Copies of this chain bind each other. A is one copy, B any other.
Amino acid sequence: MSTWQQYLDTNQPLFLDEMFDFLRIPSISSLPENVGDVRKAGEWVMQRLKRAGIENIEMMETGDQFPGHPVVYGDWLHAPGKPTILIYGHFDVQPVDPVDLWHSPPFEPVLKEGKVYARGSNDDKGNMLVPILAVEALLKSEGQLPVNIKFFLEGQEEIGSPTLPPFVKANQAKFACDMVISADGGQWSETEPELAVGLRGLCAMQINVTGPNRDVHSGMAGGAIQNPIHALVRLLDSMRAPDGKILVEGFYDDVRALTPEERAQIATIPYNENDYKAQLGLSDLFGEPGYSTRERTWARPTLELNGIWGGFQGAGTKTVIPSQAHAKITCRLVADQEPNKIIEKLQAHIAQHTPPGVQITLDIGASASTPYLMPADHPGNQAARDVHLELYGMEPYYARSGGSIPFCALFHTVLGVYTVNFGFALPDERQHSPNEFFRLSSFEKGQKAYCMLLHRLAQTKAS
């Protein structure tokens, strides 16, 4: 019998081939037309878990209708007296538009200079394969696992996991565990490890502005009626000051202020604003006054316009006042903001600032996520920190993330356990953007790190 390291070394070509298969499934969770593809990705995961030696694999329904994408569950529970670890990941992906900016089709993965390019390679298909392969390597080389393992792999993370809360509550006993390890996350860089202890929350809405009951001639009606695009622009502009501060009344009320200690800790983590600007092709960064860029993205909430549309978008000129205009908004939230309360504040602001001459309706987004903060010295974090130290030769940075993983807050609330973020994405890999990629080196390092982590977790206390 070989060691898990030998098993991993031997099987990398096969694992890569499998990752390509997985990436070919266009499992976009936000689009109703891809609902079958999300399920197909789930079925692919079930097969892969089975080959890895996981037991009791099943596809669990989370709702009768879109977007109630299924959860794939599987376990291996033959380590009595050892802790039970629930491993989290997701097999759904973001949409791919603007598709003309991709250098190769988003669902036809390619390997170039050690990087796998495809939608989902980084977030989270490549990343979530890592612990499955590590578990397989341990089972094939050692005949058993050092801890009890439950896999919880979902298909709606990219839309904020809207149907998971009642589903997790209803299956509380099945998912009971000592901690969660999430394979949806990343490291600081190729050479610097990170432990994410905070995530922002999320809430979403679409604003629909209606003026005249049809598109009308801008010559005939121009000057007589409110233009829905103008009205939308006015309303949206009322929500944010030119300097970036959000003007929605009460928006900052529940924000937990940064302590001087937290500000100092954040300041020690390396950050090169010039590199970041160069990466994005920007001459200036921008945001709420009084905070550093890192503080703004980690510990301050935002209100972002994710999309806007109305009227004529073709080439040339169309002299029209459109009937409708629309905008999509998401807010990133920080402790102790609550998504529902922020939605209410937005509703109140919109009601108060609706320009004359138009009607406004709101579609409240199914995506909602509570902000998350965990103790830096949690036993799972300590085990992960030991692996980091061994693999990278340095302590991890205790960082936060500007993004949102609804799952972390949900499992903390429902199951009373924290989630250790142990993923291997890197920040330059264009998650959510065209030409997303995942480094093969991260894919391999992750597998090794998970084998080491599961052994270390065997030393932590079981409940």
Inter-chain contact B97/A314, CB cutoff 8 Å: yes
Q: From residue A115, how far is it (CB to closest CB) to chain B in Å?
A: 16
A108 to chain B minimum Cβ distance, whole angstroms, is 20
Chain B hits for A427, CB < 8 A? 220
The answer, among B211, B220, B229, for a CB contact under 8 Å with A308, is B229
Which of A167-175, A317-325, A383-391, A452-460 touches B?
A317-325
Q: Interface digits, A82-110 against B, CB 8 Å rule (1 contact, 0 not)?
A: 00000000000011011001000000000
Q: Is A367 an interface residue (CB 8 A)?
A: yes
Minimum CB–CB distance from A189 to chain B (whole Å) comes to 14
Closest residue of chain B to A206, judged by CB? Answer: B317
Chain B residues near A293 (CB, 8 Å)?
Answer: 223-224
Q: A240-B230, A284-B356, A431-B217 are in contact. Are A276 and B402 (CB under 8 A)?
A: no
Contacts of A365 in B (CB 8 A): 316-317
A318 touches B30 (CB 8 A): yes
Number of copies: 2
Interface string of A209-220 (1 = CB under 8 A from B): 001111111111
Top 9 A-B residue pairs of the complex, sorted by shortest distance between their CB atoms:
A219-B403, A213-B281, A223-B296, A307-B311, A286-B357, A30-B316, A237-B237, A307-B312, A226-B286
A221-247 with Cβ < 8 A to chain B? 221-227, 229-230, 232-234, 236-237, 240, 242, 244
Q: Are B160 and A317 in contact (CB under 8 A)?
A: yes
Q: Which residues of B contact A31 (CB under 8 A)?
A: 314-316
Asked if A349 CB lies within 8 Å of chain B CBs, one says: no
Question: Given A237-B233, A284-B356, A98–B215 Cβ distance below 8 Å?
Answer: yes
Instruction: Judge whether B332 and A222 touch: CB under 8 Å.
Output: yes
Shortest CB-to-CB span from A390 to chain B, Å, is 28
Known contacts: A214-B434, A307-B318, A317-B30. The answer to whether A200 contacts B225 by CB under 8 A is: no
> Judging by beta carbons under 8 Å apart, are B330 and A317 in contact?
yes
* A residues adjacent to B (C-beta < 8 A): 30-32, 67, 94-95, 97-98, 101, 158-160, 200, 202, 204, 211-227, 229-230, 232-234, 236-237, 240, 242, 244, 276, 280-288, 293, 296-297, 300, 302, 304-322, 325-328, 330, 332, 355-357, 365-367, 401-404, 427, 430-435
In whole Å, how far is A220's beta carbon from the nearest beta carbon of chain B?
5
Judge whether B312 and A218 touch: CB under 8 Å.
no
CA distance A50 to B224 in the complex (A): 43
Q: Given contacts A217-B431, A242-B234, are A314 and B30 in contact (CB under 8 A)?
A: yes
Q: Which of B97, B227, B296, B366 contacts A312 (CB 8 A)?
A: B97
The contact of A433 among B217, B305, B328, by CB within 8 Å, is: B217
CB distance from A213 to the nearest CB of B (A): 3
* B contact residues around A319 at 8 Å (CB): 158, 202, 304, 306, 330, 367, 403-404, 432
| CB pair B305 A221 closer than 8 Å | no
Instruction: Please name all residues of chain B whose beta carbon is closer than 8 Å to the beta carbon of A202 when the two chains form the complex.
Output: 219, 319
- Are A285 and B357 touching (Cβ within 8 A)? yes
Contact yes or no, B237 A312, CB < 8 A: no
A423 to chain B, nearest CB (A): 14
Write 13 A-B pairs (CB below 8 A) sorted by A numbering.
A31-B314, A214-B433, A217-B403, A217-B432, A220-B401, A222-B297, A222-B302, A222-B304, A224-B286, A226-B284, A284-B356, A317-B330, A320-B433
Instruction: State whether B297 touches A322 (Cβ < 8 A).
Output: no
Which residues of chain B have C-beta atoms less than 8 A from A300's C-beta? 223
Q: Is the CB of A223 within 8 A of B297?
A: yes
Q: Which residue of B lies closest to A293 (CB)?
A: B224
- Within 8 Å by CB of A225, from B287, B306, B310, B322, lies B287
Closest B residue, CB atoms, query A355: B242
Does B219 contact A404, Cβ atoms closer than 8 Å? yes
Q: Which residues of B have CB within 8 Å of A222?
A: 297, 302, 304, 332, 402
A356 contact set on B, CB distance < 8 A: 284, 286
Docked complex Cα distance between A213 and B433 (Å): 10
